[in-house]
Structure 1
């Protein structure tokens, strides 16, 4: 097992994690931005107003993107299992 192999596996793991988390993070960011603009326009400074829409938005995004996330995570796991015979101690 070479250092390049380990770095490549680590890079793939980080890339897969970011790809799987990106839809929910983008949804939370965009919902937060819209609510912040609304609060600035109406001068309502209620801090709890952002939680429920973000939770609902992230949950809906998770429901929509769940098959894609499972496919990406499964592909990475299968890739790891396929590389197991090549790993020497």
Structure 2
């Protein structure tokens, strides 16, 4: 196993991590921004007002994109497992 293969596997893993995490992170970011603007406009400083919408949005996004995320992760894992004989041998 040479350094190029290690870097390629690492790069693919990081790219997959960003791709799979992006929908949830971007949704929570947008919901948090909207809640912050709402809190600033109404001067309501309730702690649960910032957390509950984020959790609901994250669960909704996971329900919608969960199968796609799982498919991406399983395909990556299958590629890595099938590459083991070529890397070790």
**TMscore range, shorter length:** over 0.9
Q: CA RMSD in A?
A: 1.2
TM superposition outliers: structure 1 runs of 4+ over 3 Å: none
Unaligned runs of at least 5 residues, structure 2: none
How many aligned residue pairs are there? 89
- Counting only pairs closer than 5 Å after superposition, residues 34-53 of structure 1 correspond to structure 2 as 34-53=34-53
TM-score, with normalisation over the residues of structure 2? 0.92
- Paired position in structure 1 for 2:61: 61
TM-score, with normalisation over the residues of structure 1? 0.92
- Paired position in structure 2 for 1:24: 24
Greater relative CO (CA pairs within 8 A, separation 6+)? 1
Unaligned runs of at least 5 residues, structure 1: none
